[in-house]
Each structure stands twice: as C-alpha cells, then as structure tokens.
Structure 1
Amino acid sequence: MRRNRGQITVDEALDDIRSGDLIAAGMYTAEPKQIFRRIHEICGRVRNVSLWTCLLGEDYPFITDPAYWDTFRFYSIFNGPQMRRCMKEGAGAFLPNNLCYLGEEQVARRTPDIYFGAATLPEEDGTLWLAPSLQTELENFRAAKIRILELNPHVPRIFGASKIHMEDLDGYILSDAPVFDNPMPLPGETDRAIARRVAALIHDGDTIQFGIGRLPEAISDALMEKRDLGIHTEMLGNSLGRLIRAGVVTNARKNFLPGESVVGFVWGSREFYDFIDSRQDIRIEPSRFVNDACIIGKNDNLVSVNSALSVDLTGQVCSESIGTLQYSGTGGAMDFAMGAFRSKGGRGIIAMPSTTGNGRISRITAVLAPGSAVSIQRGYTDYVITEYGTARLRGRTIPERAEALIGIAHPAFRDRLREDAERAGYLS
C-alpha cells in the first residue's frame, strides 16, 4: 500500500532519506531536478547514502562539490564528466552492464529505498506517464519502498509502458523546471563522409537504430532520400526525430510492431520534445524489451549504427573506456550488435572517425590499450566504417580482418599498423 500523501514539498521528500538508504533516480527526461538541486542539504543529517546515477543535466552541488562526498556513494551505469571526477577521487564506482538486463540487476543487487523521478501532469482520471526514459527506471520505480515523482508540464508524454496512476505514488512535487535536453550538434565534413558510407548500407524499408551526436545528425541528413524506414532503437533523439518529421520514417514495412517507432528513452532538443509529445506512432518500452537481442532480431533488416573509441585489428570494439579510464558506458552497443546478427538481413555498423586527438591517435589499433573494455566481442562485429572506407568483418579470418581494417585507417598510420600486425602474427 502506498502512503498517497498527495502533493509534498522538496523538504518533505528530503526528509524521507535515512542513513544507509539506496536512492534510484530517473535519468535524462526523468531526472528529478528540484530534488537534485537541493539533495546536498541532507549532508550532516544522514550518512552513507548510495545513489544510482548516469549523465546529469546540471552540475548539481551534491556531485560536483567534494565537501558532500562523505555523505554519498555514487554508482554509475554510464559516466559523464561529473562521474569521472568522482571515480578519480574514490567517491564512486562503475557497474559494467548490458542495458538489456541492467534494471533487473540493480533491483536484484538491492531493493531501492526511494525512487525519485519525473512524470507528466495527471489526466482527469489520475493517469499519468513516467518521463520517457525507461532504461532502468520502471524496474526501480516498481521495486522502491518509497516513490516520489516531480510532475512537470514540460515532460513529453510518450505512450506505452510508461503509463502509471497517481495511486502508485507515495507523494509528488509540482515542478516547472526545464527538462534535461540536448541541443542538436552540427556535423563536420568527416562526419558527413562517414555518413555517406553508412547510408549506402541502409535500404528503403530497413529498420534502424542509432544514437546521438554529430555523426547521427550527419547520417540522418544522408538518409533523407530513403523511403519507409522503421525505428527500433534504444534512444530516440534529434536525428531520428528529423527523419520522422520528414516522412522518411513511416514504419510501414516493419514486420514486427509495424506502424510504431519502438524506443527505450528519448533525449533531444526542446523542439524535438514538443514534436514527439503524445504521438500515437511512438511507443516506449523498458530496455529489458527494447534491448533484448531476441526482440531486436524479430525485426527483419535491422540496421544498428553505433560508434566506438577504438577497434583493434581482430575486430574487438571498445566504445566506453580509454585504457583503464571508464569514460562512458556500454549502453546498448552489445545488445544491438547481437540483435543485428539475429535479424534476417540485419547489419551491424560501427562508424567512427579514423583518428582522435587532433589526428595524433589512430582509432584503429593493432591491439586495444591495456585495460580497455571490450564493449562488442569481435565475433559480433559486422561492418566498421571510417571516412576512408568500409570494412566488412563478418565471416572473415583474422588476416582478412586486419587487411580490411588497415585499409580504412588514416593513411598516416597504415604502415605502422601493418608492422604491428606482422609482429602480432596477424599478417605474414
């Protein structure tokens, strides 16, 4: 039974926190901004409070000011700059994960004492919709001993598994805070060169998945002449939103859940949120469904496009760490790589610039740097694309893979890569 306190204040929400509690919180559009702006005020009253966290929309005092870190212990599923600093100082830890199973793993590890999140304003019958981020939020919301949401008119309503009722809450806070957004970045010429190669592998009627950033924006530009694309994606952002708006995405040829763009969370600009609000052709489901490789594979001609920090000459993909530094997270990279393999006619694409560090470092390496996470096991690496070409790895031997990847590396690094490949025994 829920306490159903109705509307409460931020002070009352903070009073619910006790020493030793585990707090699970919504991410992206579901971030509880009013609470996060003041949660540092519990310091001195309680201790040893654990908090699941991810990328954050603001530099909140509780995570940016080390003075508060004695009170909190942060557990991250995807690092941003704030969390990288916390981990460096020993105030946080990263949980390796595949997003498909993460919500269940969190709850199995420990039941959250409190869930803080966000939702739409209620309808007349008390129905409301969780903010459109169901990566782990639904599992944690359902399991939490105390559930408190910020109800916010700026939260876009996306139909699907996000539907709840006011009776499901222990209390709510009215909020007018702007939703965590992500303005549209401008692609560069390298991004556009890569995007043209990606677009050549995507055909009319395919179902697509990709994420956020300059490269996905360039890919969406390159797909504007395609027809009847479908969407089954972990994240729906500005780039895919533009394809929906342009009529390129219709979902008409999807064999699985036709007519619907299936998503796990949304993150984009304010204009994007306004555009997708209450659309009947967008359906949100938890990552346990969206990122399940067996579910992904039910979509024929599923094309997954993700990026990477580095790829070695055997096809191992690192998308989350720089050596031992946990830079970001796995997200759904492995989930969708496996799903694309299961899809009839599916293709898995790793698209990335050939270099980083202003051209000083090759992203294609003979071996991954010591300590690097293998985000995608080489057996699931299909295509790798840079601005210099497309390498097909699926069904290829180690020497064939090495030759193909050297061929799409930046020309300045090819001779060294070949020498390293020969030294490693990949080439003779």
Structure 2
Amino acid sequence: MSVQHSYAQKRMAASEAVRLVRDGDLIIVPTGVGEPPALLGALSEQRHSFHDVKVAQILAMRKYGYIDPQTVAHVRHVALFYGGATRAGGQAGWIDFIPNYFSEIPSLIQRQQMPADVVFSMASPMDAHGYFSLSLGADYTMAAVAKARVVVLEVNPQVPFANGNCHVHISQVAAVVEDSQPVMEVGLPKIGPVQQAIGRYVADMIEDGSTLQIGYGGIPDAVVMQLTGKKDLGIHTEMIGDGILSLVQAGVVTNRRKNYLPGKMVATFALGSASLYQFMDHNPALEIHPVDFTNTPSLAGLNDNLVAINATLQIDLLGQCGSESLGHLPFSGTGGQADFVRAANISRGGKAFIVLPSTAKDDTISRIVPVLSPGTHVSTSKNDINYVVTEFGVAQLRGKSAKQRARELIGIAHPNFRAELTDQAARMGLGA
C-alpha cells in the first residue's frame, strides 16, 4: 500500500478522531504551540461523553473548553508546567501537576511511570516518503509516540518540516486530521530598563564562540538584544524563538565554533512568529530533537562554553532559587532550568546565569530574601547555583561559603533592603 493511500484511509474529522480515546486514557500533548487546536477543541465539545480522561502537557497555550472545573470527572488537565491557561486551576487544585525535570519526561514515559495511551499533536504535511515532522514540539512527544496505543496527528500546511529526530511515519499513525488555521504566534515580551540593565551584565560576560541556551522572557530577550556585536555564537537550547532568529539574521549565530554538533542549531520546541516557523522549514542548519537529547546535562554539557540563561522569582541567601511557585501556590514548573544549570556547570568554560529583578510590586518586596517563602518549590539548588544577576550587578556563588554567598547576594539586592538583609544574615549566623 502506498503512503498516500494509507494517508487517505486514515484521514478523518477531528470529531471522529477523538472517539479513538477510551475512558481512563492519558493523552500526551506537545509543549506550547505544538498543541493541536482542532483535536483539543473536538475533545472539549465531546468531554461529557468521556470518563477519567487526562490530558498531560507542558505549557498549555489556550484555555480549551475541557479546562473546566465542572467537568474534571470527564476530562482533566494534568500540568507538567503551568502557564496562563492552567495556573488558576492549579492554584485552586482542580488541575493536577506531575513534578519533573523536562529532560526526564521521556524516561518517565519509557519506564511506564507516566502513561502515554494517546498522542494528539500538530504535524507538518507528510513528505513523499510518508514522514511527518513534529517540528513545533518533539520534546517528550516522540517518546509517547513510541508507546501510545493511538497516535493522532493534526496536519497543518503552516507547520514547518524540520530536520532532526522529530519524524513520525504514517504507519505509526491511527488518524490524520487536516486543519489550516494559522499556527499560534507568540511575540517577544516587553523589555523595560531593569531587564535591559540585567541583560547588559550578562551580555558582557558572554564570549565570542559561546553556545547559548536562552529561555522565554523579558530578561533573556534583553540579553539577546545586546549580543549583536558578538561573533560565531552557537545554539543548543530547549526553545527556539524569535530572539534567536534575530541573532541568526544579524549574522551573530553561525554555530561554526561549536564542538558538539558543529554547524547545527539544536532545540526541542519552537515558540514564536510565522517568520520563525518559515525559517525552520527544511532548514539544514536547524535540528529539532527530543528533550532527553537537548536537555540532558551530560549531553548538553558536551558543548564547550555553554551559557545558560534562566529566570527565577525569589532567591535566598544560600542561593536556593524558587522559580516556579509563589510560596506554596504553583506558578510555572521546573522546566529545563535545572537541566541547563547543571549542563553549563559540566561544560568546559560554561556559565549558568540565574537572572531576576531585585524587587517586586513597585520596589516594595525584595526578591533576595534570607529564607524562601514557606512552601516555595526549589527549582535550582544551592549546590548548582553559579552566577546570579540583578539590575545592581553580578554575584558569583559557586565555590563560595555560606557567609560569602550572603555577602555577594546582599551586594546585588536593591539598596533599600541591604541593611535589613545584613541584619537578618547576622541573626542567621551568616554575617561577616
């Protein structure tokens, strides 16, 4: 049977494809814009006909109808990372959460510690050999494809066909749903003077020929804006976005000096504009791989001079970072922060930066604190922390004693809080 004939046999409407789901199934959905809107919309419309179905995903982008506290007995979201669509439900308790390192989600699936009964994913059009590209999110989805009873692809001509280990053959697919609505675009965040100041400190410490991991957010993008004078940067990251695209277009990213996969940009998911998605299509300089390839510290750390830039919400005087909760209330998730901090520490010449504004709520609250707020989820441990950057400077903590760390961090706190932090440090035995 030809691949075209197989495709035609498996093509169906989204409303029909969701009926392949059984009660009790867990549906795996890719990160971010890799989520399939037609399929998740159809699942939402039919949710009352299911019982105990769960949808697991990192960073849901849209608040679909199934994300509903009144119908959690039918279809329930299970977050691997909270975003705007799921945060309120997580804080209220009707959206559940699976703690994880991003790099280890594939192994949770492979070891059957986390089910993967069904996969719903966006995909590129099929090529002449019968392959689709899961270019918007290979992440943990490729591991789920290998385990799932049912794989349903939502094929969209605006999804790029990327290179790398992100391809699924028609023989692995139970159903194909065609859709042509525009792929969701995510613009660059707003950057203010605080973000610019932090970005300048970090950019000054990035050397020509470094390989970058850059996350999403105002501060990482502020760093990107100030790298246009650098030369021969490389990319090995979890997310490729418009900030990286701007560096490629400026001729700053060449990947020539990478010693691990030289000449190639490597990522596991995409989050950006239509221009980014067009750039990815059949681009030999870019590869999309599963997250256990991009984020596993022992692999990412093979890049010399790896620079990891990640943000936190709060840090204590020992260097523990609470990057994913407000006290006990969940805000996001660990994501790839711990993965890339450890990778940069392994890398020869690597630098791991944790960045944060010194204050919150109009300078009324210090983000540098003696101890983390009760219940805070620790994302980066005191043993992994290296550089911490605020708008007031850089604290280098790795290899420093507890007292030295406290001094370094107080030195980059907002001036309004330094005296209070010094007094509290002394009471904790962390004084000079």
TM-score bracket for the superposition, by shorter chain length: over 0.9
Secondary structure at the residue paired with 1:109? coil
Task: For 1:361-372, list aligned pairs within 5 A.
Answer: 361-372=365-376
Counterpart position of 1:80: 83
Report the alpha carbon displacement of residue 84 of structure 1 after superposing the two structures with TM.
Answer: 2.2
Report the alpha carbon displacement of residue 110 of structure 1 after superposing the two structures with TM.
Answer: 4.1
Report the alpha carbon displacement of residue 57 of structure 1 after superposing the two structures with TM.
Answer: 2.5
Residue 69 (str. 1) matches residue 77 (str. 2)? no
Report the alpha carbon displacement of residue 225 of structure 1 after superposing the two structures with TM.
Answer: 0.1
1:96 to 94, 99, 109: 99
Task: For 1:3-402, list aligned pairs within 5 A.
Answer: 5-63=9-67, 65-107=68-110, 108-402=112-406
Structure 1 length as normaliser, TM-score?
0.96
Report the alpha carbon displacement of residue 33 of structure 1 after superposing the two structures with TM.
Answer: 0.5
**Is the CA contact (8 Å cut-off) linking 2:33 and 2:136 kept in structure 1?**
yes
Report the alpha carbon displacement of residue 31 of structure 1 after superposing the two structures with TM.
Answer: 0.6
Report the alpha carbon displacement of residue 296 of structure 1 after superposing the two structures with TM.
Answer: 1.4
Aligned equivalents of 1:311, 1:145: Cα separation in 2: 43
**Is the CA contact (8 Å cut-off) linking 1:97 and 1:330 kept in structure 2?**
yes
Secondary structure at the residue paired with 1:150? strand
**Is the CA contact (8 Å cut-off) linking 1:154 and 1:176 kept in structure 2?**
yes
Secondary structure at the residue paired with 2:168? strand
**Is the CA contact (8 Å cut-off) linking 1:29 and 1:155 kept in structure 2?**
no
Aligned equivalents of 1:45, 1:373: Cα separation in 2: 36
Residue 413 (str. 1) matches residue 408 (str. 2)? no
Aligned equivalents of 2:236, 2:145: Cα separation in 1: 24
Q: Which residue identity is paired with 1:31?
A: E
Report the alpha carbon displacement of residue 22 of structure 1 after superposing the two structures with TM.
Answer: 1.4
Aligned equivalents of 2:39, 2:388: Cα separation in 1: 42
Report the alpha carbon displacement of residue 215 of structure 1 after superposing the two structures with TM.
Answer: 1.5
Report the alpha carbon displacement of residue 125 of structure 1 after superposing the two structures with TM.
Answer: 2.5
- Identity %, equivalent residues: 37
Secondary structure at the residue paired with 1:233? coil
Q: For 1:7-40, what per-residue CA distance to the aligned partner results, in whole angstroms no more than 9, with x for missing partners? A: 0111211211222121111222321110111212
Aligned equivalents of 1:194, 1:43: Cα separation in 2: 46
Q: Which residue identity is paired with 1:97?
A: N
**Is the CA contact (8 Å cut-off) linking 1:305 and 1:350 kept in structure 2?**
yes
**Is the CA contact (8 Å cut-off) linking 2:30 and 2:58 kept in structure 1?**
no
Structure 2: which 5+ runs fail to align?
Answer: none
Structure 1: which 5+ runs fail to align?
Answer: none
Q: For 1:396-427, what per-residue CA distance to the aligned partner results, in whole angstroms no more than 9, with x for missing partners? A: 11111100100000111111111111111111
Q: For 1:70-120, what per-residue CA distance to the aligned partner results, in whole angstroms no more than 9, with x for missing partners? A: 312321110013322223443221111111111221452243221111110
Q: Which residue identity is paired with 2:77?
A: F
Aligned equivalents of 1:366, 1:413: Cα separation in 2: 11
Between 378-387 and 155-164, the greater mean CA deviation after superposition: 155-164
Report the alpha carbon displacement of residue 67 of structure 1 after superposing the two structures with TM.
Answer: 3.0
Between 325-334 and 74-83, the greater mean CA deviation after superposition: 74-83
Q: Which residue identity is paired with 2:78?
A: Y
Between 24-33 and 361-370, the greater mean CA deviation after superposition: 24-33
Instruction: Evaluate the alpha carbon distance shift between residue 110 and residue 216 of structure 1 in structure 2; reply closer, same or farther with a 3 A threshold.
Output: closer
Q: For 1:167-210, what per-residue CA distance to the aligned partner results, in whole angstroms no more than 9, with x for missing partners? A: 22111000112223211223111111111100111000111111
Aligned equivalents of 1:276, 1:302: Cα separation in 2: 23
Question: Between Structure 1 and Structure 2, how many residues are aligned?
Answer: 426
Q: Which residue identity is paired with 1:330?
A: T
Aligned equivalents of 2:252, 2:405: Cα separation in 1: 34
Secondary structure at the residue paired with 2:237? strand
Between 319-328 and 72-81, the greater mean CA deviation after superposition: 72-81
